[in-house]
Structure 1
């Protein structure tokens, strides 16, 4: 039976033990737990060799950027001037700098791991009462899909998550700067632009329920097709081009399959709705986090008839659902309710650990017999 490599087993066991200690013994956050996890994850995903779904493609592009791309091309891309580059400019710049200095490709993945882990973990630590527990949501399995697979989107999401500071401060210029940087990593970051205003919408349990029902009922009508002309007029050309290109994509433009993912989301929605009042009462800025989470869920159901839109576009918003809202609800509740939520989520993480290891973990070469790292 395929099982994840010992480095991932070590991280999982450490997070499980540390989160229990944080939630039930110390009952407050501990930065040392976050630091240890960050170092282990940067080593595991930063120095990996031929591991991850998109690794071969990124490695192939590495030398291509250096040979066929100039720094002038990167500047044109950054300024939205006409150019032949199809990949986002900051990602290209990182690859070209690493190649020009004569370093191997695993330095690119290391730099990307440092950036994404630093931004995501610092935001989690500042905004979550039990950050070590929140990191279990990140580790299982978001780390494998985002930061070890779709790395450019993982970096874009990291910048979007970091921009939450400026959303709270109502600092629009700095938020827009973050959006520009996020677009330099991945086009889908444009979807997070409304977040600055979404957080101010008044919501409650009943409104959350009806928003998600309307989003689900609208899915068969494929209303997202009306967005093609909208993006063509307001978004940069490469963003509108990507949107139109994926609308009828041969492989990903089909409906999301019904399965385990739906069951998990329904359970998450139930927790979000049932304990909404406790979250609003006991967690600073919870209403902001909750609004972003609800919008992410609405996007998922709205785009359900197009798999790539449903999976990619809600990415940054869904980060707030799991890492921010659900983990903070464990803090917001007390007594047996807290114990029930903690151990229910922990059971989910354990199940996902084995389920992922036998499926995508094996295919992505994260397992004991297939994982390789430049440090050993």
Structure 2
């Protein structure tokens, strides 16, 4: 029964996301890059990719798929196929409930990653597949996976020191001191990034200075205050702290994912000054929710409490996903049926953003 459910999940994910049309805010950038890229032939060279500013590893990946079949919808399907294989390998390795874990995975960040930040998704997936090498203390394969991830997206640089950091308990006292301080910064709207981070990125120069210009100087601030997300982050922090020892006792690898959740919560507080940066940084660790949140089911011994908990998780997930996709940008289209072309969807997106100004 569990094996059949596994295949059902695989097929549903692949059908709805693999055959999606031009969905999301970033699709047009990838669409244009795909159209521009040359296929592999006797005249191909790296010089042909020099005019495209995105990471060369991802460009090579797109070029490989394009060389098989020159159609952007085919690329989306193959990319989704690769993603769901990696996700399910990860969840089967670490999840106690693959279906519930996938729901949490999509709700907390996976859906946006699948439709928008395709490069980030690859670096995240390579990292989560490399976690077993952190457990096994095998540095070389860990670095191999994440250096490939770095060639997909520059944000993967944050994963490299995790080999030495996330397999040791952060400690509840340390976490709560940093978490309380971070929430003071968040609620107090204290802008620390422009003071602390901008000079550092400027010294690094190159792409990192460009990131500083794109994110830190945009003035696009977070939605501060007592939002639904704020209370959910507090609830997760309290629940993990209350069941800390019991969660650690369930599986030896849980300390890695608890630490990743702690990092997720702290990054949101300290990077809340810039909304897009807070989202990009925290989403590097969103996968940890998909492992830890479903495990609470087994900590509630009464069956009715387990059912109530699963119902609450599913309800919150539906509400949050609906909030994310309930815009013209994420209006679902399928290439299997009549759908809008790329340029028509691009006009809809531009009109949507103009309407927000």
For normalisation by structure 1, the TM-score amounts to 0.78
The question of whether the paired residues in 2 share the 8 Å contact of 1:278 and 1:333 is answered with: no
Q: CA deviation at 1:337?
A: 4.5
| Structural mapping, 1:166-245, within 5 Å | 166-218=133-185, 220-223=190-193, 225-228=195-198, 230=200, 237-238=206-207, 240-245=208-213
Q: CA deviation at 1:375?
A: 6.8
Q: CA deviation at 1:36?
A: 1.8
Q: Does 1:276 align with 2:272?
A: no
CA 237–109 in structure 1, closer or farther in 2 if over 3 Å, else same: same
CA 153–162 in structure 1, closer or farther in 2 if over 3 Å, else same: same
Instruction: Provide the rounded CA distance (Å) in 2 between the counterparts of 1:71 and 1:215.
Output: 50
CA 151–257 in structure 1, closer or farther in 2 if over 3 Å, else same: farther
CA 297–55 in structure 1, closer or farther in 2 if over 3 Å, else same: same
Q: Does 1:344 align with 2:308?
A: no
The question of whether the paired residues in 2 share the 8 Å contact of 1:208 and 1:273 is answered with: no
CA 107–289 in structure 1, closer or farther in 2 if over 3 Å, else same: same
Q: Does 1:298 align with 2:266?
A: yes
Instruction: Provide the rounded CA distance (Å) in 1 between the counterparts of 2:216 and 2:170.
Output: 34
Gaps of 5+ in 2: 339-357
Q: Does 1:126 align with 2:93?
A: yes
The question of whether the paired residues in 1 share the 8 Å contact of 2:222 and 2:272 is answered with: yes
CA 177–229 in structure 1, closer or farther in 2 if over 3 Å, else same: farther
Gaps of 5+ in 1: 1-25, 78-82
Instruction: Provide the rounded CA distance (Å) in 2 between the counterparts of 1:248 and 1:222.
Output: 11
Q: 1:266 aligns with which of 211, 222, 234?
A: 234
Q: CA deviation at 1:305?
A: 0.6
Instruction: Provide the rounded CA distance (Å) in 1 between the counterparts of 2:98 and 2:62.
Output: 32
CA 35–206 in structure 1, closer or farther in 2 if over 3 Å, else same: farther
Q: Does 1:64 align with 2:33?
A: no
CA 203–142 in structure 1, closer or farther in 2 if over 3 Å, else same: closer
Q: Does 1:146 align with 2:119?
A: no
Q: CA deviation at 1:213?
A: 1.5
Q: CA deviation at 1:182?
A: 1.0
Residue deviations 1:249-279 (CA, integer Å, cap 9, x gap): 4264x23444332232222222222222221
CA 32–208 in structure 1, closer or farther in 2 if over 3 Å, else same: farther
What's 1:246 paired with?
214
Q: CA deviation at 1:224?
A: 6.7
Q: CA deviation at 1:225?
A: 4.8
Q: Secondary structure at the match of 1:314?
A: helix
CA 282–304 in structure 1, closer or farther in 2 if over 3 Å, else same: same
What's 1:17 paired with?
none
What's 2:347 paired with?
none
Give the total of aligned pairs: 331
Q: CA deviation at 1:354?
A: 4.2
What's 1:373 paired with?
335
Deviation beyond 4 Å, 4+ runs, structure 1 = 228-233
Q: Which moved more, 1:195-204 or 1:121-130?
A: 195-204
| Structural mapping, 1:35-50, within 5 Å | 35-50=7-22
